[in-house]
Structure 1
Amino acid sequence: MDYEVIISGGGPVGLMLAYELGLHGVSVAVLERLTEVDETIKAGAINVPTAEALDRRGLIPDLRAAMERNREAFLEIMRRRSGGAVAPPPAAARFAGHFAGIWLLADRIDASDPDFAGRGEGVLGGVRQQDIEALLEERVTALGVKVMRGVEVTGLEARADGVTVLAGERRFECGWLVGCDGGRSLVRRLSGFEFPGTPPEITGHQAMVEMEDAEGLAFGWTRTDTGVYVNGPIPGRILTVEYGGPPDDRDTPVTAAELQASLRHVSGVDVTITGVVSATRFTDHARQATTYRLGRVLLAGDAAHVHSPFGGQGLNLGIGDAVNLGWKLAAVARGRAPESLLDTYTAERHPIGAWVLDWTRAQVLLMRPEPRARALRGIVSDLIDTSAGTTYFVKRISGLWQRYDLPGEHPLVGTTVPELALADGSRPADYLHDGRGLLLDLGAVPAGAGDGRVRRVTTTCPDRPDLGGLLVRPDGVVAWAGTGGPSLEEALAAWFPAA
């Protein structure tokens, strides 16, 4: 065996999974067909579960430094465009996201909603997907993970005891293969995963361009009789949506002429695009694998589910897959848990993926230019323009609603560990940097519980005297909460079965 796990795809999902596995000492190789990070404009923010996941691994300080660099770069662009000083944007911007281009305003959120309480890192804007990839590649390399760029998986042979992976003339043997190779995943197709869903009906373009005669373009999201276009917020950033079916060809490079024709068609403005910095096409087919595991082959990220980019859910959904799968696959690969533990991966992540598909389908419908869609959009806009409506949509977009259906009656079971203010000034996230499970003894956990299978921390939480203890999985999910007893031993046996 060359590696215990091979990951096909070195984007943020593949690298996050590699990091999770590397923390547990698993022998991992990442095979990535691209020779360098793709600079095409992609996700620009991460939701609460993603931010919390990165916080649990101690990655937030480096990410915030990247965010500050991006902020300074944006201000410099604005200074050059305006020819003078530019005031920095306000710290508390009113924009809290959008649904189908309908803005959600932060001052409409009901901050007293209990779902906002006890959460750690919030939604982080100004985060480029490339920043996350660069940070993760640096961290996985430090762990000894082998990242092979310019190496593309071309074939595979899965057996009961392992997988042979072909990359051109190169051949690798591994115990497990994970496809993180995108929406047109070769791993998924060669392994026989079913991938049902709904067909595409739009052609979308997203690009950074240089353009002239653009004064007539409205700023932000604009719907017209022929589609939707977005101008900004970064100068030169455009997005178009046309409802004439999917693109004829998604593989050839996007040209200035193609972008110009699309933008003119949707906006009605005779813009001239003089240069293309980066560009991509997209569509809205929404498909999901019926299972995320077939024997020794697993899927994560876009390989497991595809949908339109509206709402920025793709990156977040994929990171959630990686942190859920990583510690489980590590436990199985190192012989600390039976293969049945991997069955919980599909059981927990598939419902969230299904929700994201429906969330994006609804947005595509509301952006259609036809009269029925316009009527429905008006009603949804009215609902959003209320405190209850904005709060609902923000909770959904930010991921605050997400939880897993785990055994246990305590309301914290299945949720992300709350941001507890522990007596010594520490936080639960501080004890999860190494990827191990955590048994937090707040005064009522029996002596000897956990017996080395998890990190045990004894402290108090003055703000939660009702909480005797927590068992937290490596992915930050509360597996048990209470005051000891058989339920704690059952949870330990289920999630951490061997020393």
Structure 2
Amino acid sequence: MDSAVIVVGAGPVGLMLAAELRLADVPVVVLEQLERPTGQSRALGFTVRTMEILDQRGLLPRFGEISTSSMGHFGGLLVDFGMLDSVHGTSHGIPQARTEEILGAWAAELGADIRRGHEVVSVTSDAYGVDVEVRTPAGTERLRASYLVGCDGGRSTVRKLAGFSFPGTPGTMEMMLADVKGCDIPAHPFGHHVPGGVAMSAPLGDGTHRIIVREHGAPVRSQPAEFPEVAAAWQRLTGQDISDAEALWASSFSDASRQVTAYRRGRVLLAGDAAHIHLPAGGQGMNVGIQDAVNLGWKLAAQIHGWAPPALLDTYHRERHPVGERLLMNTRAQGLLFLGDESVQPLRDVLNELIALPSAALHLARMVTGLENHYETGPGEHPLLGRRVPHQELVAESGKTSTTELLHTGRAVLLDLADDPAVRTIASAWHGRVDVFTGHTHAPADDSPFHDTTALLVRPDGHVVWAAPGAGELPAALYRWFGAPR
């Protein structure tokens, strides 16, 4: 084997997966077709769930000061995110290029082998591994790995070469976008509806504005739009001539909506846009892709190291495919609301009335921020089962820590919150796979899910798979998720 895992694509998803694998001491090679990053930034921030994930790996300080907001939108309709139960808000003003830079540096620090200018041209797999033919600046070479993961975007080469089924609906409407400097553009961050379409604009800092236009009836093109086309559409919709502005980049996208039927085919897996494409809405695509990577990383590492229980790797599809389905559903709904013509206005009016109801607003906020996601993890009725462990201050003899800090290593954690030697003795048989913390919570409120909780078993991705009292026997949970004891 040339590597245990080959990851194709050095975007945020591929780099996050590479880092997760290196945290688990798995050799990984990242192949990227581009010789250098484009510098383009379709996504401009993180959802609440991604903020939690980056925090659990200790990455947020690398981004510097992060601007967050308690307001969001669903299809351009304002939604109060301040009611969400998280220590984080939705972040803004973090260009995707910056995210790639930080994740790339982190993956390289951990030992990932990132190779740019390497284009995958063929994929062949057997029962024992995957062979990848790669076109490089020096010629063609072959690499072999135990597993291959395609994180190479919506036009994924891996998806096509490996024969994944990718059903869905083609694009029916198009939006054009550009980042421009040298002009004064009024802010319309949630869209300005005019008879001919929708114009959206938002300042990005340093005199740069992101503009997005959608003209009703415009055909869906096969090639990305160029700035003169974007400027002409902007003038038709708003009356403002920005043709003399400096365009940093321009492109276009449609509302095409597709998802692979299986996230895994033998030794080839997909994550991010390689597995699901949709209308960009609230930056969910990049965020869900990063969450795919964190779900997959530790499971693939367990498989490589030989201790994965039966079917652990298959839980990647079982857990993440429904998340992708929900993603496609909500982005299609948002597209109708945001991009539809005046015939959709009655629906917008009704939905605005519903959003005024706290329960409806909370439901939509949890949907688009990823906080609704939870997994089937076994028997029990504890409120945290299957859900991501929330940030909670903890106290031990060695000092203070938190649930977030304990996950920095990328390993599973058993929280012994009642100083129970029996719990620690059981967990010792999984030493090296599961860390044990003994201490207590720092003054949980009566309505806190930690109230009266004596122990929690938390996966490396932060999801709770066992809790006491009320979730059955600890050895069964340890075996289900972390294999046979040593």
Relative to the length of structure 2, the TM-score reads: 0.90
Q: CA deviation at 1:282?
A: 0.9
2:244 counterpart of 1:244:
no
Q: Is the 8 A contact 1:209 1:274 kept in 2?
A: yes
Change (3 A) 1:153 1:244: farther
- SS class of match (2:383): coil
Change (3 A) 1:356 1:486: closer
Q: Which residue of the other structure, out of 307, 311, 327, is the alignment partner of 1:336?
A: 307
Residues 128-137 or 344-353, more deviating:
128-137
- Percent same amino acid among aligned pairs? 41
Change (3 A) 1:339 1:20: farther
1:127-178 alpha-carbon deviations (Å, 9 max, x no partner): 2222221111111111211000111111111111111111121211111000
Q: Is the 8 A contact 1:203 1:244 kept in 2?
A: no
- How many matched pairs? 462
Matching residue of 1:148? 115
Paired residue type of 1:5: V
Q: How does 1:321-470 map to 2 (within 5 A)?
A: 321-338=292-309, 340-409=311-380, 410-424=382-396, 425-443=400-418, 444=420, 446-450=423-427, 451=429, 452=431, 453-461=433-441, 462-463=443-444, 464-470=450-456
Q: CA deviation at 1:485?
A: 8.2
Paired residue type of 2:41: I
CA distance in 1, matches of 2:345, 2:470: 55
- SS class of match (2:4): strand
Matching residue of 1:219? 188
Q: CA deviation at 1:263?
A: 1.5
Q: How does 1:86-97 map to 2 (within 5 A)?
A: 96-97=71-72
TM-align CA RMSD: 2.1
Matching residue of 2:18? 18
1:419-448 alpha-carbon deviations (Å, 9 max, x no partner): 222124210121111111101101145241
- SS class of match (1:45): coil
- SS class of match (1:367): helix
Q: Is the 8 A contact 1:13 1:318 kept in 2?
A: yes
Residues 177-186 or 393-402, more deviating:
393-402
Structure 2 gaps of 5+ residues are 445-449
1:202-227 alpha-carbon deviations (Å, 9 max, x no partner): 11112112465x67x66331012222
CA distance in 2, matches of 1:318, 1:246: 29
Q: Is the 8 A contact 1:227 1:367 kept in 2?
A: no
Matching residue of 2:173? 202
Paired residue type of 1:247: V
Matching residue of 2:33? 33
Q: Is the 8 A contact 2:263 2:270 kept in 1?
A: yes
1:112-141 alpha-carbon deviations (Å, 9 max, x no partner): xxxx44x34332222222222111111111
CA distance in 2, matches of 1:62, 1:319: 17
Q: CA deviation at 1:335?
A: 1.0
Matching residue of 2:8? 8
- SS class of match (1:491): helix
Matching residue of 1:49? 49
Relative to the length of structure 1, the TM-score reads: 0.87
Q: Is the 8 A contact 1:41 1:206 kept in 2?
A: no
Change (3 A) 1:324 1:351: same
Paired residue type of 2:120: V
1:432-480 alpha-carbon deviations (Å, 9 max, x no partner): 1111110110114524122213101111124245101000000000010
- SS class of match (2:409): coil
Paired residue type of 1:224: V
Q: Which residue of the other structure, out of 99, 106, 131, is the alignment partner of 1:139?
A: 106
Q: Is the 8 A contact 2:40 2:96 kept in 1?
A: no
CA distance in 1, matches of 2:56, 2:128: 33
2:450 counterpart of 1:478:
no
CA distance in 1, matches of 2:351, 2:244: 35
CA distance in 1, matches of 2:188, 2:33: 37
- Point out the structure with the larger strand share: 2
Q: Is the 8 A contact 2:188 2:199 kept in 1?
A: no
1:350-405 alpha-carbon deviations (Å, 9 max, x no partner): 11110010111001111344343121111112222343443332222222211112
